[in-house]
Structure 1
Amino acid sequence: QLCFLKSACQHNQNVTQSNHSLYKNPFLESFEETPLLVAVLTYMGYGILTIFGYLRDFLRHWNIEKCHVAREREEQKDFVPLYQDFENFYTRNLYMRIRDNWNRPICSVPSAKMDLVERVSHDYNWTFEHTGKVVKEVINMGSYNYLGFAENSGACADAALESTRKYGVGVGSTRCEIGNLDIHEELEQLVARFLGVESSMAFGMGFATNSMNIPALVSKGCLILSDELNHASLVLGARLSGSTIRVFKHNNMQSLEKLLRDAIVNGQPRTHRPWKKILIVVEGIYR
């Protein structure tokens, strides 16, 4: 994932707009609404499970039903509790019923398809036993492997092997540690041409990349225009910078353009001085 940070510095507060702008047409985004029957049955299911959960906790409290959850020992009751029974209510009474569908151990490369270790439970998903069998070719829908980089064969693996032979094994680190390479600058030029901007900066993805680099780009007296669905790392970086933050609707260029026009025309609150910088923050890939 790459986060493209486009900084718009205005000194003369002039707005230029090409005649072939892509943003003249209204922005329309629609999603399929949840059927009423599905929504009602879902909430009813949660309600029933919650009621039975309280009933089962009552039975566990009086040792009528066996409790498998981690609990404090009687001799440790006077200490600060390590386990909060009420906070674990969902895990105890709802999640355990469907736990077999989650946290499945894999035994292959996590590519578009993968192999799962087969397991069984004899105590309603509190513990599992491996059968020794493998479930083959299961579709992977829970991975960050967006572009197939985790494959051990194919175009991505071949390109990684070629790059390793050419540049060595250390190029996976940051540019300030290992050094700037021609492929870094080539990537930035390609991104700039794709976005139709003057230039761009590319960073290796990471939580610290977003949270630490944004304060280096902007500070107090600057304005950040942030997509409403940006990752928490971007939100944290924006807050740490001390800049004024305004949020525009997700992928809505009309909302962004309106905020940008208002910011340029009106300037900073109270003083109406021009913003030192205006930074537009948007993700390349949303989870």
Structure 2
Amino acid sequence: MAKPHSPVKKTKNGVLNGKHEQTVERTWRDDFHESFEETPLIAAMYTYLSYIMLAIFGHIRDVCYYYGLRHAGQGTEPEIKGFVPLYSSWENFFLRHMYRLIRDSWDRPVGSVAGAKIDILERVSHDHCWHFELTGKRLHVLNFGSYNYLGFGENKGPCVEKVEEITKQCGLGIAASRQDYGYMEIHKELDELVADFLGLEAAITFPMGFATNSMNLPCLVRKGCLILSDDMNHASIVLGAKLSGAVVKIFKHNDAKDLEHKLKESIIHGQPKSMRPWKKILIVVEGIHSMEGSILPLPDIIKLKKKYKAYIYLDEAHSIGALGPHGRGVTDYFGIDPKEIDVMMGTFTKSFASAGGYIAGSKKLINYLRVYSHSSVYSCVMSPPIAQQIIASMKIIMGLDGTGEGQRRINQLLINARYFRRGLHKIGVIVYGNRDSPVVPLLIYNPSKISLFSRETLKRGLATVVVGFPATALIEGRARFCVSAAHTKEMMDEALRLIAEVADIVRIRFSRLPLSHFCIDDVPFPVSILI
């Protein structure tokens, strides 16, 4: 199996000279394969036309609803005399009409473990997807929608056994925050294990991944500070940046040149109105982008950090456990010392099949967050079974269980990601992202095709996630596949066969690039494959 990237090499004293630095840069770039094929003109035209027609018929429906010519199936607030509406379901035109159009593709109830295969509870609607009712039937289908990257989302095995033991010992919940007798021995063990796994001085864990970003960013920056945020950063980062009171500037996705331009411009002009220097500058980026499947060019970002004396806040929600030869994320992937990152953030909801998040860094940083983080002070601590699932899966990844199971899953995930992505390229569909990313977006474009793709794949036994505006650009609606180490070659071959069949029905074979363009070698499967 080919390595994801050649490790970054240093001189004996750990310092790179100018000549050697150029060699290192060329090495990682030569092996950094990402695909972002241009949107075909015909697909863009039909997509825009579809949205125009949607807007026209949407306004006609609104007129009919207003004059009582047609009944609106959505929930509306009863009018109270003298009161303005507490909420209004009419405020968002797009969601009011578009969401209902493809609503049957979302919120599907799952009735089993979210492993390589799942049971989806069948449902029907008798009022054009305003409401649903269950039929009592179950659809046993392939699961290519869960973030179960390393296959730990299971109901048997060593992790489950450990979770059962801690549940009997500590119960399900503690009903207290860290400061109010909620901090248990298992939480201390988890904090120390996360720091050890990441190779950093200390770490603090939180019960919710979303709150890890939204509640901790305001602790690090405030008025007078500058946040430079990737334009495709997650909603939790966007919310945290807004709550902080800092000035937020957006740079193009994973574009180091645009980031440097914004850094130069910001430093030259200083704070708005006063022109004073910024109190601090924080660059906020993600390791793997959940919608694009792209990997952060971290070496470039670190160079800019050092050059302009800024800080880096790295969100590894999708990359931790799923990237790098040891599963330690994007720093491991590029062979970079994790201490180069000022604030390391991640979640346990993907590769570890649990819940919550963490922030890791220096001891001073973590001690500060223990006191000032709203997510730590004002929320209940993580449930002991949840913490134990993280500890058990992390020890397997680290090899502390005395087996090679963790390394086998990491290797298998890389093989599966490359194999599945190459299979999609062979079908002739447009696929975004890096070849080593377990997030594999397939571009569909047209909003009506998004829902049709979801329905047809499910009908044939494949569960997929489809995404459209505003989670993506207006003309870049897509299906997002999440590859897992639990997927066998047979499962992926079956999924690819079904996708090829549906691609003909939906007519989404838009790719015009030769297969050699994607620089993905055929990856033979090892004899032992995870099941």
Q: By the TM > 0.5 criterion, same fold? A: yes
| 1:104 match | 108
| 1:130 counterpart = 2:134 | yes
| 1:18 match | 16
Structure 1: segments with no counterpart, 5+ residues: 1-15, 193-197
| 1:80 counterpart = 2:84 | yes
| 1:6 match | none
CA distance in 2, matches of 1:165, 1:190: 24
Deviations 1:142-161 (A, max 9, x none): x4544444321246435645
Deviations 1:40-72 (A, max 9, x none): 112211221221222233334444334433346
Q: Residues 218 and 243 of structure 2 are in contact (CA less than 8 Å); yes or no, is this contact kept in structure 1? A: yes
* Alpha-carbon distance change, 134 to 185 in structure 1, aligned in 2, over 3 angstroms: same
| 1:190 match | 197
Percent identical:
42
**Residue 192 of structure 2: SS of its match in structure 1?**
helix
Q: Residues 106 and 115 of structure 1 are in contact (CA less than 8 Å); yes or no, is this contact kept in structure 2? A: yes
| 1:46 counterpart = 2:51 | yes
**Residue 68 of structure 1: SS of its match in structure 2?**
coil
| 1:34 counterpart = 2:27 | no
Deviations 1:242-276 (A, max 9, x none): 777776665566777x58x979x99x887779979
| 2:499 match | none
Q: Which of residues 94, 98, 112 in structure 1 aligns to 2:98?
A: 94
Task: Report 1 or 2 for greater relative contact order, CA contacts < 8 Å, sequence distance ≥ 6.
Answer: 1
Q: Which of residues 113, 118, 121 in structure 1 aligns to 2:117?
A: 113
**Residue 203 of structure 2: SS of its match in structure 1?**
coil
| 1:153 counterpart = 2:156 | yes
Deviations 1:163-206 (A, max 9, x none): x38995689998774256455434323312xxxxx745353453
Report the alpha carbon displacement of residue 34 of structure 1 after superposing the two structures with TM.
2.1
Greater CA drift, 208-217 or 268-277? 268-277
Greater CA drift, 126-135 or 218-227? 218-227
| 2:426 match | none
Tell me the number of residue pairs that the alignment of Structure 1 and Structure 2 aligns: 262
| 2:396 match | none
| 1:281 counterpart = 2:313 | yes
CA distance in 2, matches of 1:110, 1:104: 13
* Alpha-carbon distance change, 170 to 184 in structure 1, aligned in 2, over 3 angstroms: farther
Q: Residues 224 and 280 of structure 1 are in contact (CA less than 8 Å); yes or no, is this contact kept in structure 2? A: no
Report the alpha carbon displacement of residue 281 of structure 1 after superposing the two structures with TM.
0.6
CA distance in 2, matches of 1:60, 1:241: 41
Structure 2: segments with no counterpart, 5+ residues: 1-13, 282-308, 319-438, 440-531
Amino acid at match of 1:203: T
Amino acid at match of 2:106: W
CA distance in 2, matches of 1:232, 1:99: 21
Report the alpha carbon displacement of residue 210 of structure 1 after superposing the two structures with TM.
3.4
* Alpha-carbon distance change, 66 to 98 in structure 1, aligned in 2, over 3 angstroms: same
Amino acid at match of 1:59: C
Higher helix residue share: 2
* Alpha-carbon distance change, 65 to 231 in structure 1, aligned in 2, over 3 angstroms: closer
**Residue 38 of structure 2: SS of its match in structure 1?**
coil
Report the alpha carbon displacement of residue 96 of structure 1 after superposing the two structures with TM.
2.4
* Alpha-carbon distance change, 101 to 125 in structure 1, aligned in 2, over 3 angstroms: same
TM-score normalized with structure 2 length: 0.39
**Residue 116 of structure 1: SS of its match in structure 2?**
strand
Q: Residues 232 and 253 of structure 2 are in contact (CA less than 8 Å); yes or no, is this contact kept in structure 1? A: yes
* Alpha-carbon distance change, 30 to 202 in structure 1, aligned in 2, over 3 angstroms: farther
CA distance in 1, matches of 2:264, 2:127: 61
Amino acid at match of 1:284: E
* Alpha-carbon distance change, 46 to 201 in structure 1, aligned in 2, over 3 angstroms: same
* Alpha-carbon distance change, 23 to 117 in structure 1, aligned in 2, over 3 angstroms: same
Report the alpha carbon displacement of residue 107 of structure 1 after superposing the two structures with TM.
1.4
Report the alpha carbon displacement of residue 282 of structure 1 after superposing the two structures with TM.
1.3
**Residue 61 of structure 2: SS of its match in structure 1?**
helix
Amino acid at match of 1:201: A
CA distance in 1, matches of 2:60, 2:51: 14
* Alpha-carbon distance change, 18 to 38 in structure 1, aligned in 2, over 3 angstroms: same
CA distance in 2, matches of 1:42, 1:31: 18
**Residue 132 of structure 1: SS of its match in structure 2?**
strand
